[in-house]
Structure 1
Amino acid sequence: MAAERPRTPADEPGPSGPHGPAPAVDRADRDLMALAIASAAVIMFVGNGASIMPVVVRALQGAGLPPDRLLTNALLLNIALIIFGLRRYRDLVEEVRERRLAETRARELADHDPLTGCLNRRAIARATDDLIAGSSARGEEVGFLMIDVDNFKRINDANGHSVGDGVLQVCARRIAELLPPRGLLARLGGDEFACVVPFAAGRPEPVEDFARRIAQHVARPVPVTRGELEVTVSVGIARSDALGDQDVLDAQALLHKAGIAMYQAKKAGKNNHRWFDPAMERDLRDRHALERALRSGIAAGDFVPYYQQQIDIATGRITGFEMLARWQSERYGHIGPEDFIPLAEEIGVIGDLSERLIRQALHDAREWDPALTLAVNISPLQLRDPWFAQRLLKLLIESNFPPHRLELEVTETCLHENLAQVRSLLVSLRNQGITISLDDFGSGYSSLSQLQSLPFDRLKIDRAFVSPMTGCAESATIVRAISSLGEGLGLPVTAEGVESAEIAAELRELGNLQAQGYLYGRPESAEQTRARLAALGLIASPALPAPAAPDAAAPAGTAPGPADPLSDVA
């Protein structure tokens, strides 16, 4: 949540108008002129009074002639000018006082956050540099703590920005209560705070204890209108004596290192603290390099679909294939989907990656025997897209691929974001003839009521239960239970992770199941898959030219794609 921008002196409408310094200059010129006139009036009063006042006194005593009328009028004018000058002097004194107050307020607004009263980002940088210099002279070091309120966006969305502002004020007050002498506290912006504290060289333990006490003190419930809010913080810590040789010791360097450590604390589960370590920065650089390679790899077509057989366990006949994404990077070599799929989702390129892979897979599968199906995984990100169904159907039309041969695999984690939207989308796809499978059944949080309310056509048993079933009675019991459940609901079942003949034999006893796993072969490229099918007489037509991607020149991640080829490592 962004804080309101502090007002500056330029924002204040002056007495002469809002158009810059010219009116102020004119007003100053008038002030000088008024002062000059008043001074001249005093001098003239002294001169005229010395000559006129004795005549006036004698005339009043009846001992002389009345004073000259012209000189008398001049004297009265001098008196009026002196009165005017005194009033203007009083006004000038008041204006000077108000200007000084305004300048003081402007300095405060320039250096402090208007919501919490803490220093702002600009002020903390100067103050930290001064503290570093002073601590160095005393033989001390400086610790920089970056503090981020966990899940603050959720607090704002659920309770409104006024409640969020109150939470920030409470957090700032609680941190300030623990601040040691000569310590600094700032709000960097949004829900981020910074503390800077000196410590004895070689003894950083008080800094870590300070971070721990902050996490405990802030974590107390925050009272709000409708009850209480649980608030936690993640803290990253950097030390002035632990920077790299290439770094300049200043506030910006400490802020950068503490920020890296804070994000590591969030990745570790939030509500904790982490010290900065140079390895964190190296990992961050490596991650950025991997992101660049991923983006360029999508544009270069380095991502290709592989296919794993799905077998009718009773007859051994191939019934279809599941598409799995593969990346062979020129720089990094083979990278598994468990590494690049989450990264692609996080940086917003999963849509473009998915669309390219799906388009190629539909082209490859178009020449297979019409009885063979193509299964593709989709992720929660795709199910949040209200245009997902239209995008997918467009790909089917472009590829001239029959919808009934396409099977979408939805994991249980997809069902907890927006159940109504998921149901609408899946029903729409199913009405077009596409098969919907519930993938990794048993490993998530799916309820039996969802099996009734959502339009699933197949259950897939997670490999975590299938692979160990020959030596684990509990796993074998779970597999049998899911198989019976599928039979009772009229849903066919596929078992993943079939890696031995013993597992296949046990599954065969459970009835008419499909299976996939290393026992039947590892995932293969499109060429290897076609050669296998050709040897079995399961090629229906000669290969056709691959359709050109309409957005091949578009930058990766410009729009969400139709499906996400998430897959287990195979």
Structure 2
Amino acid sequence: MHPEAQPPAALGASHTARRTAGTGPGTGAHTIIREDEEAIATAIEAALRHGTIRPAFQPIVHLKSGSIACFEVLARWTDENFGPMPPARFVPVAERHGLAANLARHIIRSACLAALDWGGSFRLAFNISPQHFQDRAMPALFEESVQATGFPLDRTKIEITETAVIGDIDGARVAADLLRGKGVRIALDDFGTGHSSLTRLRALPFDEIKLDGSFVRTMGDSEESRQIVGAVIGLGRSLGAPVVAEGVETDAQAEALARLDCDYAQGWLFGRPVPAAEVPPMLHARGAMAFAPATRYPSGEQRLTQLEAIYAAAPVALVFVDRALRIGAANRRFSALMGMDARALSGRSLGEIDPAAMAQAHSDLEHARRGEPIPPRIWFLPAGRGAALLHTAPARDEAGELLGLSLAVSELPGQG
């Protein structure tokens, strides 16, 4: 359950507990909280009988097309006595009182029945709590609940956090394999917030990764967050698992994610959770599409090897220098021009290689900071190695922040 999807906290039950707890001897907070919880559990049972806990639907969109690929299904409940009850309040109570299965069955069936009347090949995603996911009866309950409505099982998805598999990885894998064998996708939710997410990815391969919204919200101000987001997207590409960025609230965030080649996004920018009656107009406005697997890119090492092969064959020497004008990466041709081994170049200041080039690079860096074009020039290579034509371009991240300079060096005929 995500913060942006939750209604305001109710005064109802929690207000009663705060008002009466600790008011005299023998009426401690624990007693009042237990009585309060019993009342909530009784209200949940009544709500399930009367169907007053209802599903809400938040769209997950394909970033490049804007089409809706999935709806995350969220539980909404307003009780006549307690008022609006956020899921973070009543779902744990349901779990502690043995009502989790009935609650899940009710939400799954209600959502699938509603979605039968909507056109499109979108998926429905359901949050399954760690406790419920570890229940051996959960896969059968999920399958039966969906099939009872006639909604296609292979258009459903289960979202779990990594805590759902801690302690019983073998049981979690059995449950996941049973569901995946029926066409149900398994998504790792809130990726990046746990201490062992990579371990879980290795032990229990997921079909999809949901990037926690805390990284998305800080992308505009934090280079570290942008690097983490880019790394997670790259990880998803390597694994062939689409990445959904959560908590997207601004056009700037969506544009940055698209530049990073993120697949899908979810957040208030694209729509808040809405009742079933409001979904058809949303689908009409945006359109729907199938939730497709990510294109599987080569691993980072494979891609670097491919790029190196291209650079090695090209008659161009390439080097990247950071804002301090230290060499971050150079291809073999540049190393040969400098008369040095590539490993010896990495991390060295450009001034150590050629003091004259260092002064010019400072000027180029200032041009880049001001957004001015950098004209090509002749570079007289150190140690009398001849002359070359130098093309310099600013290297920027997806937010437009200057990272350094990219240099392309072409030897001039007759100068070598």
5 Å-filtered alignment, 1:394-413, equals 394-413=144-163
**Counterparts of 2:210 and 2:28, CA distance in 1:** 44
1:301-343: CA deviation from partner (whole Å, max 9, x where unpaired)? 1100000011111121111210011111111221111111112
Q: Say whether the 8 Å CA contact 1:405–1:434 is kept in structure 2.
A: yes
1:287 aligns with 2:27: no
Candidates 87, 95, 102, aligned match of 1:352: 102
- What's the counterpart of residue 566 of structure 1? none
Structure 1: state its 5+ residue gaps.
1-241, 245-253, 258-276, 540-570
* Higher helix content, 1 or 2: 1
5 Å-filtered alignment, 1:163-202, equals none
1:385 aligns with 2:114: no
**Counterparts of 1:390 and 1:285, CA distance in 2:** 33
- What's the counterpart of residue 118 of structure 2? 368
Q: Say whether the 8 Å CA contact 1:312–1:512 is kept in structure 2.
A: no
Candidates 484, 490, 496, aligned match of 2:246: 496
**Shift in alpha-carbon separation, 1:506–1:538, aligned structure 2, 3 A:** closer
Say which SS state the counterpart of residue 519 (structure 1) adopts. Answer: coil
* Higher strand content, 1 or 2: 2
* RMSD of aligned Cα (Å): 2.2
Q: Say whether the 8 Å CA contact 1:426–1:455 is kept in structure 2.
A: no
- What's the counterpart of residue 186 of structure 2? 436
**Counterparts of 1:279 and 1:426, CA distance in 2:** 40
**Shift in alpha-carbon separation, 1:460–1:499, aligned structure 2, 3 A:** same
**Shift in alpha-carbon separation, 1:434–1:409, aligned structure 2, 3 A:** same
Say which SS state the counterpart of residue 269 (structure 2) adopts. Answer: helix
Say which SS state the counterpart of residue 518 (structure 1) adopts. Answer: coil
Q: Say whether the 8 Å CA contact 2:191–2:211 is kept in structure 1.
A: yes
1:139-176: CA deviation from partner (whole Å, max 9, x where unpaired)? xxxxxxxxxxxxxxxxxxxxxxxxxxxxxxxxxxxxxx
> Aligned partner of 1:334: which letter?
P
1:333 aligns with 2:83: yes
Deviation at 1:440, TM superposition (A): 0.7
Q: Say whether the 8 Å CA contact 2:59–2:273 is kept in structure 1.
A: yes
- What's the counterpart of residue 462 of structure 1? 212
> Aligned partner of 2:167: which letter?
E
**Counterparts of 2:23 and 2:195, CA distance in 1:** 45
Identity %: 37
**Counterparts of 2:128 and 2:30, CA distance in 1:** 32
Deviation at 1:478, TM superposition (A): 1.6
Deviation at 1:488, TM superposition (A): 1.3
Q: Aligned residues, how many? A: 268
Candidates 488, 504, 508, aligned match of 2:258: 508
Say which SS state the counterpart of residue 499 (structure 1) adopts. Answer: coil
- What's the counterpart of residue 153 of structure 1? none
1:256-298: CA deviation from partner (whole Å, max 9, x where unpaired)? x3xxxxxxxxxxxxxxxxxxx6555544443333333222222
1:467-496: CA deviation from partner (whole Å, max 9, x where unpaired)? 222122322222111111111111110000
1:527 aligns with 2:273: no
**Counterparts of 1:322 and 1:243, CA distance in 2:** 42
**Counterparts of 1:388 and 1:279, CA distance in 2:** 34
**Counterparts of 1:320 and 1:513, CA distance in 2:** 12
> Aligned partner of 2:187: which letter?
S
Structure 2: state its 5+ residue gaps.
1-21, 290-416
- What's the counterpart of residue 81 of structure 1? none
Deviation at 1:524, TM superposition (A): 0.3
1:52-107: CA deviation from partner (whole Å, max 9, x where unpaired)? xxxxxxxxxxxxxxxxxxxxxxxxxxxxxxxxxxxxxxxxxxxxxxxxxxxxxxxx
5 Å-filtered alignment, 1:299-318, equals 299-318=49-68
1:503-537: CA deviation from partner (whole Å, max 9, x where unpaired)? 11111111142000011111000001123224567
**Shift in alpha-carbon separation, 1:389–1:501, aligned structure 2, 3 A:** same
**Counterparts of 2:209 and 2:98, CA distance in 1:** 30
**Counterparts of 1:243 and 1:412, CA distance in 2:** 40
**Counterparts of 1:243 and 1:480, CA distance in 2:** 53
Q: Say whether the 8 Å CA contact 2:61–2:70 is kept in structure 1.
A: yes
Q: Say whether the 8 Å CA contact 1:303–1:325 is kept in structure 2.
A: yes
**Counterparts of 1:380 and 1:469, CA distance in 2:** 29
- What's the counterpart of residue 130 of structure 1? none
Candidates 203, 210, 223, aligned match of 1:473: 223
Bigger radius of gyration: 1
**Counterparts of 1:455 and 1:398, CA distance in 2:** 28
**Counterparts of 1:519 and 1:535, CA distance in 2:** 14
**Shift in alpha-carbon separation, 1:287–1:385, aligned structure 2, 3 A:** closer
**Shift in alpha-carbon separation, 1:387–1:281, aligned structure 2, 3 A:** closer
**Counterparts of 1:492 and 1:297, CA distance in 2:** 36
* TM-score normalised by length of structure 1: 0.45
**Shift in alpha-carbon separation, 1:536–1:473, aligned structure 2, 3 A:** closer
> Aligned partner of 2:149: which letter?
S
